[in-house]
Structures are given as structure tokens and as C-alpha cells.
Amino acid sequence: MNEMPGRLSSFNSVPAAGAGMQREPQQTQPASQPAPAPQPEADHADDEAADLARQPIGVVLDVAGSGSQVALDLERLNECMDHDDPSIALAGQVGSQIKIRTRDGWLLASVRNQKQDRRGAGNSVVANIDFMGEGMEERLTGKIHSFRRGVTRYPIPGALVYPATTEDLRQIYSSDGRSAIQIGTVYPTSDIRAGMYIDAMLGKHFALLGSTGTGKSTSAALILHRICEAAPQGHVLMIDPHGEYSAAFKNYGMIFDVSNLQMPYWLMNFEEHCEVLLKSSGNDLQNDKDILAKCLLAARSKNRLAQSMGKITVDSPIPYLLSDLTNFVQDEMGKLDKATNTAPYMRIKTKIEELKADPRYQFMFSGMLVGDTMGDFLSKIFRMPGGGKPISIVDVSGVPSDITSTVVAVLSRLVFDFAIWGRNEKTHPILLVCEEAHRYVPSEKNADGNSVGRVLSVSYTHLTLPTSDLV
Ligand SMILES: Nc1ncnc2c1ncn2[C@@H]1O[C@H](COP(=O)(O)OP(=O)(O)OP(=O)(O)O)[C@@H](O)[C@H]1O
Ligand SMILES: [Mg+2]
């Protein structure tokens, strides 16, 4: 235990701490300037460069579950900056990867942020790091192998920090043979393929996060392109609030917007009907809801399908005529005693008439849509059969803003319901991609008027059912 403070206090000159390491005794200072190295001995210069990578750049200060703090030696970071290996040259900087020696291998971590270390003489910086995973060390060569995500054994404060080399990154990011898509190269190297295991990725929810302009949409388009190439028979539904994806998916996808979406209003469940039709609040809202529930159920029950099904609810996606709904509201109003207030009935009736008449709402509230069946709509929107276009882009930029969230809710719910109700059938998994998902996520903060930070601007993807069918 006494050893640790000693090490920490001697950290301000990490190279000296490094001198304690087995590989490079006392060569740190001269090695920092390769310029004086004699010309003919190129090999010697190479050795020096390699040794530079084998010396520590810092020490672990603080260890916690999610991440830790390390102190990095500025002099060593500057030495590394001239290194030919881009990964070593970037060592210690924000976004770079570093490795920490553990008893029988290496822990890999990435640097999250840096700040000046005010305790010492100003020659070190303190950085927060996030652990990525761990690997074993090959005895003879010192290379990392068997890298895997997660940490089983944390380092102890005082453990030494080293730059991760391109060779290390190659080991870490090498594919293990599962089906993967390539999306680029691992920064800062230029030749290590950055891949994603599609089955693993699509098997759970995933999000692309980044502040504005960092390339989220571009990455989402790239990933979807790769997925479509790998699984042309797949089913992807993307909700595109700004109409920015149609150009990217002209060949791979069907583009739906207000001109051809034709989303039947009767697909909405009761809650969604309330969102669209009822604008009152408090007691009035409850009153309106009761009336709407009664009339909606009556209108849906008129359908022959409903009669053959027996028991239906207000939420059942059974086509009904908007005129039936207004007629039932009218009838209910007629049954009132004179003293009772007719305002709620009038409110609902007026709103329905408004939606029917407004051309902006025609993609959803057109009388023509009653003839469609749910199956028609699902096969169109979920690309079943896909006809070589596995992705449908629903461009909601032209949808009137007061019902945008309802349209998105209906589409998302359909994906979910389809997966739940089709559980026992041989159905296909559907990937739902939602650009700027935070717009549709109810947030307490939003209600207060504080905006959700743009950092949350995400491409939210949601996949239902196991994915092995998709790829
Ligand atoms: N890998 C890349 N290399 C160079 N430029 C890129 C890269 N990725 C994206 N860009 C460019 O960066 C700009 C912003 O990209 P993009 O629209 O994808 O960002 P975004 O994170 O979706 O932004 P927003 O938050 O505004 O939606 C675009 O002009 C795009 O061409
Ligand atoms: Mg974007």
C-alpha cells in the first residue's frame, strides 16, 4: 500500500516512472528527439519509434465503474505527437484510445475529456477515460489478443497508461467472422476496417448520438444502405421529419409523403383519436372523451367485419365512415335533455368536419381510405413484398405539425403491433428508424418549456423480433 503514493507523487515525471518498466531503461530523454540519430541507422530510428510507444504516457489516478481518471504527462504526449503511427500520435487526446496495463493483459479505454492538472508544475493533464474492454498480452510479441468488450478486472490507481498503437487497434477491431457491414475505417488509422455486426446491432435498440452537424444523418443513411445491400429482402421503415433521405434512397426505397402515404384515419386507436379530435382540457376533455369513445365504438361496430368478429373495442383497427361518427355524435346530442350542454358534441362534430374539408389532412382523412384494409396498408408500408425496395421512407415534413406526432405514433405502433400479433406466424422482423426521435419522446422538461438539447438529436432505431431472418 505504501508504494502507491510514492508512485503517484513521482508521476510528474512519468518517463522516470517508465524507467521502472522492464523494456526501456533510461532512454527517454535522448529518444524524444530522433533528429540527431545517425542517418544510416534507419532501423535504429524505427526501434526508437517503437520504444516511444512502449513507454507510459500517464498513470491511473482514480477508478470507478463506468470510467476513470488518469493523469497524462504533457512532455510524453508531445513526444508522441510526431510519431509516424497516427494512433500513437493522437495518444491521450480527446477521442483517442489508450491502454492500461493490468496483471495479465491490457485494458483499453478511450479519452473523454482533458483538463489541466493544477496540483503539479503544470506538466500534466488530467483526463477522464471510459473503459472499452480488455485483451490478453501475447508473451513473445507483446501484442494484444482475445480482445473483448467489458471489464472483468479493473486497474488499481497507479497502473501505467500507454498509447494504443495501430497494431492494437487492428486486434481490437478485427472481425470474428460474424456477418458484418463495413462503414468506414477506424479513426485515426487509414486501413483498419470499421465494421458492425448487423445481427447483434439489429437485435437490440441502438441510437446514433452527436451534436448538430456531426454527421448523424449521413451515418444513418450509410448504415441503412449497407443493411439494404446485405438484406435486400429485409423490411425497414424510416420516419424522416425533414425530407432529407429521399434522394439517398431513390433506388433502394419507396418514398412516401403526403401525396402518396394514404394512411387511413381508422388505424388510429382511441388515444390517438383523442389527440387529433379533442382540443379541450380539464373536465371538458374527460367529458369529450366519454362521448367520443361511445360514438367511435358505435361507428366501428357498423362495419360488417366488426359484426363477424363479435367483440371489438374502441381501439380495434376497423374501418368506419367519418360520416357515421358525426351521425352518432349528432344522435347522442339529440338524446340530451334541454338543460344539458351541447357544446362538447358540437366541438367534436366541428373538428371532424374541419379535418374532412382541409386539403392538408387529405392524406389521412380522405373518405376514399375507408375502402382500404389494414393488410393493404401494412404490406405497402412494410414492403411486403419488397419488390427490391426493402426500405420505405415516410417523409412527414409535409404533414401538418399538429398531427405529426400522431402520424409517427401510429406508424411506430403498427410496427410494434405487427411484431406482437404476428409472433406465432412466420413474420419478418422490421427495422424502425426514427430520425430526431427526441421530438416524439414526451419529456417532462419539454413540458416546462426547456428544450431538449440538440445532443439528443438521434436516429433512433428499433427492431422487433429476432433478426436472423433479416440477414
Ligand atoms: N464522414 C464525413 N466526412 C465529411 N463530411 C461529412 C461526413 N459526414 C457528414 N459530413 C458532412 O457534414 C454535414 C452534416 O452532416 P449531417 O447532416 O449528416 O449531420 P447531422 O448530425 O445529421 O446534423 P443535424 O444535427 O443538423 O441533423 C453534411 O454537410 C455532410 O455532408
Ligand atoms: Mg441530421
Q: Is the pLDDT of residue 240 over 60?
A: yes
pLDDT tens per residue across span 143-162: 888 888 889 988 999 999 99
Q: Write the CA distances from 278 to 17, 292, 352, 445, 448, integer angstroms.
A: 71, 9, 10, 24, 22
Question: For residue 352, what pLDDT is reported?
Answer: 94
Query: Is the minimum distance from the CB of 215 to ligand 1 under 6 angstroms?
Result: yes
> Average pLDDT in the 275-279 region?
93
Question: For residue 163, what pLDDT is reported?
Answer: 93
Q: Which residue has the cell 439528443?
A: 456
Give the number of the atom of ligand 1 that is nearest the alpha carbon of residue 220.
Answer: 18
Q: Report the length, in residues, of the chain.
A: 471
Q: Which residue has the cell 497494431?
A: 167
C-beta separation of 128 from 68 below 8 A: yes
Query: Is the minimum distance from the CB of 213 to ligand 1 under 6 angstroms?
Result: yes
Ligand lying nearest the CA atom of residue 221 = 1
CATH topology of domain 205-262+372-471: Rossmann fold (3.40.50)
User: What is the CATH number assigned to the segment(s) 47-172?
Assistant: 2.40.10.170
Mutate to test the pocket of ligand 1, among 217, 225, 459 (most ligand atoms within 8 A of CB): 217
In the reported structure, the alpha carbon of residue 94 is separated from the centroid of ligand 1 by a whole-number distance in angstroms of 20
**Separation between Cα atoms, residue 246 and residue 256, nearest integer Å:** 9
For the ranges 226-235, 361-370, 458-467, the lowest mean pLDDT is seen at 458-467
**Separation between Cα atoms, residue 329 and residue 290, nearest integer Å:** 11
Q: Is the pLDDT of residue 357 over 90?
A: yes
C-beta separation of 128 from 49 below 8 A: no
> Average pLDDT in the 257-274 region?
94
Q: Is the pLDDT of residue 31 over 60?
A: no
> What's the first-to-final CA gap in the chain, in angstroms?
53
Q: Is the pLDDT of residue 449 over 60?
A: no
> Average pLDDT in the 238-246 region?
91
Question: For residue 111, what pLDDT is reported?
Answer: 94
Range of 22-26, 63-67, 214-218 with top mean pLDDT: 214-218
Q: Is the pLDDT of residue 460 over 70?
A: no
In the reported structure, the alpha carbon of residue 243 is separated from the centroid of ligand 2 by a whole-number distance in angstroms of 10
Give the residue, 32 or 183, on which the prediction is more confident. Answer: 183
Question: For residue 403, what pLDDT is reported?
Answer: 93
Per-residue pLDDT band for 321 (boundaries 50, 70, 90) equals: very high
Q: Which amino acid, 300?
A: R
What are the residue ranges spanned by the domains of the chain?
47-172, 205-262+372-471, 265-371
Per-residue pLDDT band for 27 (boundaries 50, 70, 90) equals: very low
Q: Does the CA dihedral 377-383-389-392 come out positive or negative? A: positive
Per-residue pLDDT band for 372 (boundaries 50, 70, 90) equals: confident
Query: Is the minimum distance from the CB of 375 to ligand 1 under 6 angstroms?
Result: no
Query: Is the minimum distance from the CB of 165 to ligand 1 under 6 angstroms?
Result: no
C-beta separation of 196 from 180 below 8 A: yes
Query: Is the minimum distance from the CB of 216 to ligand 1 under 6 angstroms?
Result: yes
Q: Is the pLDDT of residue 4 over 80?
A: no
Question: For residue 130, what pLDDT is reported?
Answer: 93
Question: For residue 138, what pLDDT is reported?
Answer: 84
Mutate to test the pocket of ligand 1, among 208, 218, 224, 459 (most ligand atoms within 8 A of CB): 218
Q: Is the pLDDT of residue 43 over 90?
A: no
Give the number of the atom of ligand 1 that is nearest the alpha carbon of residue 435.
Answer: 27
Q: Is the pLDDT of residue 179 over 80?
A: yes
Query: Is the minimum distance from the CB of 67 to ligand 1 under 6 angstroms?
Result: no
Query: Is the minimum distance from the CB of 459 to ligand 1 under 6 angstroms?
Result: no
Rama region for 441: left / alpha / beta (φ>0; ψ in -120 to 50; rest): beta
Per-residue pLDDT band for 339 (boundaries 50, 70, 90) equals: low
pLDDT tens per residue across span 381-430: 998 888 888 999 999 999 999 999 899 999 999 988 888 877 777 767 88
Per-residue pLDDT band for 46 (boundaries 50, 70, 90) equals: low
For the chain, give the percent of residues with pLDDT over 90.
41
**Separation between Cα atoms, residue 398 and residue 364, nearest integer Å:** 12
Burial class (CB in 10 A: 0-12, 13-18, 19+), 169: buried
Give the residue, 2 or 90, on which the prediction is more confident. Answer: 90
The C-alpha cell that represents 204 in the structure block: 437490440
Query: Is the minimum distance from the CB of 341 to ligand 1 under 6 angstroms?
Result: no
Question: For residue 384, what pLDDT is reported?
Answer: 87
Give the residue, 103 or 330, on which the prediction is more confident. Answer: 330
Question: For residue 202, what pLDDT is reported?
Answer: 83
> Average pLDDT in the 273-302 region?
93
Query: Is the minimum distance from the CB of 439 to ligand 1 under 6 angstroms?
Result: no
Question: For residue 283, what pLDDT is reported?
Answer: 87
> Average pLDDT in the 441-470 region?
37
Q: Is the pLDDT of residue 123 over 50?
A: yes
Question: For residue 381, what pLDDT is reported?
Answer: 92
Question: For residue 278, what pLDDT is reported?
Answer: 94
SS3 annotation, the chain: CCHHHHHHHHHHHHHHHHHCCCCCCCCHHHHCCCCCCCCCCHHHHHHHHHHHHHCCCEEEEEECCCEEEEEEEHHHHHHHHCCCCHHHHCCCCCCCEEEEECCCEEEEEEEEEEEECCCCCCCEEEEEEEEEEEEEECCCCCCEEEEEECCCCCCCCCCEEEECCHHHHHHHCCCCCCCEEEEEECCCCCCCEEEEEHHHHHCCCEEECCCCCCCHHHHHHHHHHHHHHHCCCCCEEEEECCCCCCCCCCCCEEEECCCCCCCCHHHCCHHHHHHHHCCCCHHHHHHHHHHHHHHHHHHHHCCHHHHHHCCCCCCCCCCCCHHHHHHHHHHHHHCCCCCCCCHHHHHHHHHHHHHHHCHHHHHHHCHHHHHCCHHHHHHHHCCCCCCCCCEEEEEHHHCCHHHHHHHHHHHHHHHHHHHHHCCCCCCCCCEEEEECHHHCCCCHHHHCCCCCCHHHCCEEEEECCCCCCCC
